[in-house]
Amino acid sequence: MRHRVFRAVVAGVFVVFAQFAFNQEAQNGGQEGAQQQVTYRNMTPEQRAAATRAFLGLGAEPDKAAAARGAPLFEQTCAFCHGPQGRGATGSSLLTSDVVLGDDHGEHLVPFLKKGLPEKGMPAFATMSDGELKDISEFVHLQVEEVANRGTYRVLNILVGSSTLGQNYVAAHCMSCHTTKTFAHIGSRFRSPEQLQRGWIWPVSSGDRSLANTASVKMPDGGEISGLVTQVSDFRITVVDGAGKANLIDRRPGVEVRMKDPLAAHQEMIMTLTNADMHNVTAYLDTLK
Ligand code: HEC
Ligand code: HEC
């Protein structure tokens, strides 16, 4: 049912506008205006978003922390065929998919993704965990929401946390890797709170040596090579040692690799964030201008 409502988005926006125009007229008309209850016009952004989602018949509100975790997974496993925001590429758009629109929090999507549609060219993701597939589902729902409930939704969701709680969270969970230097003026380094949030949840390597991926490799003859990892797979690893020499090592039996990858650890930390943590940290980092 819901997909039909979704397809009426354009009509819906028109009705909201018509109502807005009507309210304005009523207010200009004197007495009647004084009795107006809450109209779209004098709603807070939160009330507008809620009114729009009720009007459009959108389903459960997406879980934003899960969607943030799902973003890189979607990028790696789905974007190639369905486009970076699920709007379709060689594969279909997911925004109008019945499977997506009939799902609230992965209860239909997760089993669907495990099986795929091999006969139509949609792979089965049987080896991904339920948790990962649920995070991907929330990411897809967030894409639907952002298209359908545009504008209001963004304003609503970014800067709503407590910067004090965010500051406490950062002190407790982030300073094992970062120094205050990482966060100095961070609020002014991004163009919008949205990009700031993306920047800290899903950072790219900046070339900071103290946060680089390093390894120490024990060779079968007892020798040890350690340094910066520049390439790694299940079969080989390249380690640049202190003298600047790149060592390409086959990971054959007897070779022991101990890797220290702070960026992977950063991603693991992200998996433990709740919606409240995420909002609080973004609110705090945004104050560091
Ligand atoms: C190799 C390309 C490919 C990849 C990778 C892929 N898909 Fe698909 N997907 C398809 C194709 C092709 C279809 C079938 C479209 C059709 O029905 O014509 C499909 C269908 C779907 C549908 C059902 C759409 C409908 O008809 O309602 C969903 C939902 C979906 N994919 C989600 C995902 C998600 C989420 C991922 C990542 C975990 C993913 N897909 C990865 C190619 C792909
Ligand atoms: C286990 C180590 C680790 C922890 C814990 C950690 N991070 Fe990171 N973080 C990294 C690494 C590695 C990078 C990649 C940066 C690089 O290579 O310079 C990074 C990058 C970042 C960036 C981007 C920096 C830039 O200059 O653009 C931000 C912002 C950030 N982290 C915020 C946080 C916040 C907020 C927390 C706590 C909620 C946190 N990190 C916890 C390891 C960590």
Give the DSSP per-residue string, 100-144.
HHT-SSSTTHHHHHHH-BGGGTB---TTS-HHHHHHHHHHHHHHH
Domain extent, residue 283, equals 158-206+266-287
On whether both 1 and 133 belong to a single domain, the answer is yes
Q: What is the pLDDT of residue 194?
A: 78
On whether both 72 and 144 belong to a single domain, the answer is yes
Contact, 213 vs 259, CB < 8 A?
yes
Residue 136 has pLDDT above 90, yes or no: yes
Mean per-residue pLDDT over the chain, rounded = 81
Centre a 10 Å sphere on the Cβ of residue 105 and count the other Cβ atoms it contains. 17
On whether both 58 and 35 belong to a single domain, the answer is yes
**Per-residue confidence band for 27, with pLDDT thresholds at 50, 70 and 90:** very low
**Per-residue confidence band for 251, with pLDDT thresholds at 50, 70 and 90:** very high
- Residue 49 CA, chain-centre distance (Å), reads 20
Q: What is the pLDDT of residue 92?
A: 86
On whether both 193 and 72 belong to a single domain, the answer is no
How many alpha carbons lie under 13 Å from residue 163 in its C-beta half-sphere?
A: 8
- 100 CB burial (10 A radius; 0-12, 13-18, 19+): buried
Residue 126 has pLDDT above 80, yes or no: yes
- Domain count along the chain: 3
| Nearest ligand, measured from the Cα of 94 | 1
Q: CB under 8 Å to 264, separation ≥6 — which residues?
A: 213
Domain boundary among 119, 138, 157: 157
Lining residues, ligand 1, CB within 6 Å: 77-78, 80-82, 91-92, 94, 97-100, 113, 117, 120-123, 125, 136, 140
Q: Ligand 2 pocket check: which of 266, 271, 272 to mutate, most ligand atoms within 8 Å of Cβ? A: 266
* Atom from ligand 2 closest to the CA of residue 273: 38
Question: What is the Å distance from ligand 1's center to 3 Cα?
Answer: 17
* Atom from ligand 2 closest to the CA of residue 212: 17
Q: Measure the CA angle with vertex 191, ends 185 and 194; round to 5°.
A: 100
Q: What are phi and psi of 225, to 5 degrees?
A: -120, 125
Q: In the structure encoding, which two tokens stand for residue 227, read together?
A: 């340094």
Residue 258: helix, strand or coil by DSSP? strand
| Nearest ligand, measured from the Cα of 177 | 2
